[in-house]
Structure 1
Amino acid sequence: MTTTGTPSSETAPRTPLLAIHEAAGAQLIDFAGWQMPVRYGSDLAEHQAVRERAGLFDLSHMAELRVRGPEAGAFLDHALAGRLSAIELWQAKYSLLLAEQGGIIDDVIVYRTADAEFLVVANASNRHAALDALTARIAGFDATIVDETEETALIAVQGPAAAAIVGAIGLESEPIEPLRYYRSLPAVFEGEDVLLARTGYTGEDGFELYIASHAAEDLWRALVLAGEAHGLVLCGLAARDTLRLEAGMPLYGNELSVDTLPAQVGLGRVVALKMKGDFVGRSAVEAGPAPDAPVLIALAADGRRAPRSGYPVLDGDRVVGRVTSGALSPTLGHPIAMALVEPGSATSDSLSVDVRGTKLPARVTQLPFYTREARA
């Protein structure tokens, strides 16, 4: 079983694109033990490029866990909160890995890549926690799980021009234009297998491409070349964070944690209580959170002062919760935030955020803050 913990600098995994990022002048940060680009230049310019044209992201720090065997689907039905055995070949599904107590160990995307094979993609920070939990739960099932993280690169192209760019790099595959959201295709790039998925974490149209690590540089360069005609911009984790916040997508460690049940954060629909039998965490999910457990809300404000993660949320003069994610929205031009607050304040019209000692009046609104359909 893989051990947990932060790897040393000598054993820390490295994105196969690290040299390219360094040559491009990226600012690198340590993220879950990986040196990853947080930005190449301006966060705002990278964000706007994705909304208006296209952005290119290295997501090779994400964890890829391959599940194979005659009972792979039944195993995932037991281990996760969704009915994964029912998804079609090349379909993707968002799901949750729950603890016995119902808290969220991780949120994952699962792809069906063969009748008896699935790819589970977990968050980088939860790679070992997810692998350990799945390994413990696979006992008794005719299935195996293999960690392919360090052998796999993940590159994302996001934005209105994403399809034109991906379509111009010479992939051998079925036509990509008809591919629906949360579907994937097997493809080949210069002799290397690619899993091409119409998925993303930005609120825009886009694709995520999984390829062997040794072929990542060639694929990246091909996408950069194809993107020149479309204004493609290299993007880091900072832009990815503001993009996903505008799109109302939760982030593990901010909105999601092992102490939070799905119903508290609007993910009760992800748990297939009516469609499947027993699974780890079911009884706790059915019991539901405590009556006073905090719930996730969306907040919007005026001005230019941004609420940040951890800032107190007040109802009148009383602290009733904390901001989980917040920013000055580059697209909308005003502050936005998600916050976990006491249920009695979830619809209050007297909320504010303590922004470094100043009360910023905030109004409860709906998620997502931004959709490309509304923009159109």
Structure 2
Amino acid sequence: MGNRTPLYDVYKDQAKTIDFGGWDLPVQFSGIKDEHEAVRTKAGLFDVSHMGEVEVKGSGAVPFLQYVLTNDVEKLKTNGAQYTAMCYHEGGTVDDLVYYKRGENDYLLVVNASNVEKDFDWLRSHAENFEDVEVVNVSDQFAQVAIQGPAAEKVLQTVTDTDLAEITFFKFRDNVDLGGMPALVSRTGYTGEDGFEIYCRPEDAAALWNLLLEKGEADGLQPCGLGARDTLRFEAKLALYGQELTKDITPVEAGIGFAVKADKEPDFIGKSVLRDQKENGASRKLVGLEMIDKGIPRTGYEVFAEGEEIGFVTTGTQSPTLKKNVGLAILGKEHTSLGTEVEVQVRKRRLKAKVVATPFYKRSN
């Protein structure tokens, strides 16, 4: 038995659950394609309580975060969120994360579930070199649900008097009253759709989950699992740690160079490698592939050109929105221009594919 979120008992009989990084989590409720479609056209509700939360506080918080994060912490204002990476000295990725500025010298970092211990140890080991920085793993103080899709704001608005339209993209409000339960409400997500991520007390999670599903029923809100979360984020080309980003793949190679401010003044871990990649181009990069031959490019499959191995698939599936077999792959840069034909090793056969534009999906509004 793995770790269980505060919502496990609510859905354990309705969902198919799997072990995901040591957590028992729902992979699907009604079905991946159905849930995917619900998020693209109406709204979906996800349990993301397995994510980790780390508080960083103190007068040394900003210099410390500037050193461990690739984005520019100085640019973030109170009630704002920022996407960033943490890197090793060689430029590879420790994790990618979103963090929130709750007040002066008060930050909340939200890290990937499989990396909580590793990230916490990494942060703590570097905090020792800074004056007045407190780093605390507060993961057990939060449950997290995400409501995503075109109807997300409408549904969430039914349970709060806070004007959600005022919480714009990558902004948040703390202590928002949701049906009598206080929560941090952030306009962020991992699906390529509009929506919110909600951080509440673990003891409120089940009541909040049920309340939202009840209020959202008329607008087609459905509970969704990790399967749809993965196909949604993949179509929107949102990186997944362990696939698009690893200790051997830099943020620049993975296409999240926008979160690396190589020209910010303070030194940060990995800066020289990342600055060189931004200025001179990395030797490989993440691209989209569309299969020409029949087959699905799965994670880890090797990619070839003229008989030479040129890279590998990081994620691939049949895109529910496009109804095409597509993948993301890290390839040598000389093979990354649009239309380039390559071959993907699918079991014993090399199947034709071509480099295509990404993201595979972009919402229209």
Aligned to 1:53: 42
Distance in 1 (CA, whole Å) between partners of 2:331 and 2:180 is 52
- Counterpart amino acid of 1:21? Y
- Distance 1:108-1:258 versus aligned 2 partners, 3 A rule: same
Aligned to 1:17: 7
Distance in 1 (CA, whole Å) between partners of 2:284 and 2:60 is 37
Out of 285, 310, 315, the residue aligned to residue 325 of structure 1 is 315
Aligned to 2:58: 69
Deviations 1:163-203 (A, max 9, x none): 0111012x253x10232111111212354321100100000
Aligned to 1:357: 348
Out of 31, 34, 42, the residue aligned to residue 42 of structure 1 is 31
Aligned to 1:165: 155
Select between 303-312 and 238-247 the one with higher mean Cα deviation: 303-312
Normalising by structure 2, what TM-score?
A: 0.94
Distance in 2 (CA, whole Å) between partners of 1:192 and 1:66 is 21
- Distance 1:302-1:233 versus aligned 2 partners, 3 A rule: farther
Aligned to 2:184: 195
Normalising by structure 1, what TM-score?
A: 0.91
Distance in 1 (CA, whole Å) between partners of 2:137 and 2:148 is 26
Distance in 1 (CA, whole Å) between partners of 2:114 and 2:273 is 24
Q: Is the 8 A contact 2:292 2:354 kept in 1?
A: no
Deviations 1:265-305 (A, max 9, x none): 22222111222311122123234499984321111235763
Out of 270, 284, 299, the residue aligned to residue 289 of structure 2 is 299
Q: Is the 8 A contact 2:291 2:297 kept in 1?
A: no
Distance in 1 (CA, whole Å) between partners of 2:301 and 2:289 is 13
Aligned to 1:181: 169
Q: Is the 8 A contact 2:341 2:355 kept in 1?
A: no
Aligned to 2:358: 367
Q: Is the 8 A contact 1:196 1:209 kept in 2?
A: yes
Aligned to 1:312: 302
Q: Is the 8 A contact 1:83 1:276 kept in 2?
A: no
Distance in 2 (CA, whole Å) between partners of 1:247 and 1:277 is 32
- Distance 1:304-1:240 versus aligned 2 partners, 3 A rule: farther
Distance in 1 (CA, whole Å) between partners of 2:258 and 2:43 is 31
Number of equivalent positions = 361
Q: Are 1:83 and 2:72 an aligned pair?
A: yes
- Distance 1:292-1:106 versus aligned 2 partners, 3 A rule: closer
- Distance 1:188-1:141 versus aligned 2 partners, 3 A rule: farther
Q: Are 1:274 and 2:257 an aligned pair?
A: no
The percentage of counterpart residues that share the same residue type is 36
Say what the alpha-carbon RMSD is for the aligned residues: 1.9
